[in-house]
Structure formats: structure tokens, C-alpha cells
Amino acid sequence: MDRSLADTLDASELDQAVADAHEVSQQVLGGRGGSPIIAIDGHGFFGPVLTRIPDVEKGAALLDALIIAARTPEFAALQRPYSGPPTTEREQGT
């Protein structure tokens, strides 16, 4: 992480901006939800929650799938158990 980002972790002058962004995310979601929330084309979803950073190809495919789900009005939710604690290690390219 860029050190300047880490230095803002406890910066109280950002509290209102964070609270405002959280409120907007809750409105887009259409109810109360945790974090993260992603909004695509005005449709909000809780997630995605990733336990590892995917390689570029898989990341792009995942984003495409999320866009298709968001553009499908009948799609509501998809969830499975966590496969382990998150890591900041990147997946090795294939």
C-alpha cells in the first residue's frame, strides 16, 4: 500500500466523506448491507468478496460476469462459503 494511503487511515477529516459514500452505497443496494458493495448500472450488490487477487484474465472475466448479473433484473444473490482467509498475494498467471 502506498504510505500516503496508510497515513490517512485515522484521518478524521475524511470521516464525513466515508460516511456519505457508505450511505450512497446503502441506497444503491436498496437496503442495509455490509461492505464491500459494488454498484453496476445503478444496481447494488454486497460483494464481491475475494480471498485472493485473480490474474488479469480471470479478473476481467469476473467483472464481465458481474456486469451480466447486474443487467439481469431477476438476479438477486449468489453466495458460497469462504475458502480461507483473504490474502494480498496475486494468483499466478496461467
List all residues 6 or more positions away from 48 whose beta carbon is below 8 Å from its beta carbon: 36, 38, 62, 66
Assign residue 58 a region (left: φ > 0; alpha: ψ between -120 and 50; beta: otherwise): alpha
- In angstroms, the Cα distances linking 15 to 6, 38, 94 are 15, 20, 41
**Predicted local confidence at residue 78, as pLDDT:** 81
What pLDDT does residue 33 have? Answer: 82
- pLDDT for 14-66, tens place per residue? 899 989 998 988 898 888 888 888 888 888 888 888 888 899 999 999 999 99
The pTM for the full model equals: 0.67
Cell 485473480 -> residue:
54
Residues 45, 76: contact at Cβ < 8 Å? Answer: no
CA 80 to chain centre: 16
Q: Residue 51: count other Cβ atoms within 10 Å of its Cβ.
A: 10
